[in-house]
Amino acid sequence: MEVVILRLGHRPERDQRVTTHVGLLSRALGAKGMYLAGQDTGIVRSITRVVEQWGGDFFIEDKVKWRRCIEEWQRSGGKVVHLTMYGLPVREHETEIRDSGKILVVVGAEKVPGEVYGLADWNISVTNQPHSEIASLAVFLDRLFEGSELSSEFAGAKIRVVPCGKGKQTESL
């Protein structure tokens, strides 16, 4: 299964930390990359450094035109999931989404253009209450990968965490 994230509504002066966390979480929980509808070289640099140190083949690309990204994804046979608290319950649609194989997950910020709701193959919610887009993405990816992403190994890692009950421990590879 190929999963890529499209981050909409990024405001560089306000959203650097949240958008960085969307990218880090996406990588950690199984996505192959992230498109950023906006320009922010700092986020691209930061996530690229994480990939260089912690491994994997995650990509990040900024300056993406969101409408073109969605349309090209669908033309190539992929499906689009828009995460929104106004959507259909994830638990009722996760199997059909998983079976589609190639998924672009749209994660918005404050205001998502109304057109996105019509372009998406699914508008999906993890809850119909106000919540964080980072939390929504985490729940969605975990359900999509059925927990298998929680034990992923990342090829090319230079460092990794050594799980321990107290303290923090890493090792160089």
Helix %, strand %, coil % of the chain (to 5): 45, 25, 35
Residue ranges in 101-162 assigned as alpha helix (H)? 114-119, 133-145
Strands (E) located in 41-173: 59-61, 79-89, 102-107, 122-125, 159-161, 170-172
Average pLDDT by stretches of 10, the chain with 173 residues: 92 80 97 94 95 97 97 98 96 97 92 94 95 95 96 94 95 94
State residue 109's pLDDT score.
81
User: What's the CA gap between 155 and 148, in Å, rounded?
Assistant: 16
Which residue, 70, 84, 68, is CA-closest to 4? 70
Q: How far apart are CA 82 and CA 73, in angstroms?
A: 13
Residue 41's CATH number: 3.40.1280.10
pLDDT at 16: 82
83, two tokens: 């995460």
- Euclidean distance between CA atoms 144 and 1, whole angstroms: 10
Local structure of residue 128 (DSSP, 8 states): S
Predicted local distance difference test score (pLDDT) of residue 13: 67
Number of domains in the chain: 1
pLDDT at 68: 98
Q: Residue 109 gets which letter from DSSP? A: -
**Which residues lie closer than 8 Å to 173 by C-beta, 6 or more apart?**
157, 158, 159, 160
Joined together, the tokens standing for residue 67 give 């409408």
Domain boundaries, position 106: 2-172
Per-residue pLDDT at 101: 93
The pLDDT of residue 123: 98
Confidence (pTM): 0.95
